[in-house]
Amino acid sequence: MIGSTRQRCFHHSDREASARCPSCHRSYCRECITEHSGRLLCASCLAERSPRPRSSSLKLTAAVAPLLTALIGFAVAEQFFHLLGLVLLNIPGLLHEGTLWTALTGGQP
């Protein structure tokens, strides 16, 4: 906490400052300062310390991910319907013709 009431927030001149950023040495109100790893930092200094992702790899991943997901989905669907077709082809002809019940009961309805 800052002892002097004359200190004002860097962003909000009508507010009293409650802390000073150790990186940029500016005073900020409670709304503008945040705790990060045990230290109070302003938003701009916190943004500078945050690791920035490589944009080229993210663009490539964002472009390839939907395409890869669609291809995997089509491959799974194709395998499912292929196996379903094999199962249907292996069903006995009596079931297809509607004569299975007649054959099982000996011709009685």
Give yes or no for residue 3 having a pLDDT over 60. no
- Range 62-97 burial, b when 16+ CB lie within 10 A, else e: eeeeeeeeeeeeeeeeeeeeeeeeeeeeeeeeeeee
pTM listed for this prediction: 0.40
Q: Determine the pLDDT at residue 73.
A: 97
Looking at the structure, tell me whether residues 79 and 36 fall in a common domain. no
Can you give the residue range of the structural domain that contains 24?
Answer: 1-52
* pLDDT grade for 70, boundaries at 50, 70 and 90: very high
Work out how many domains the chain is built from and give that number: 2
Q: Determine the pLDDT at residue 5.
A: 55
Q: Determine the pLDDT at residue 2.
A: 47
> Of 18, 36, 52, at which residue does a domain stop?
52
Question: Could you give phi then psi for residue 35, rounded to 5 degrees?
Answer: -95, 130
Between 97 and 3, the more confident residue is 97
**Which residues does residue 16 pair with via DSSP β-bridges, in sequence order?**
8
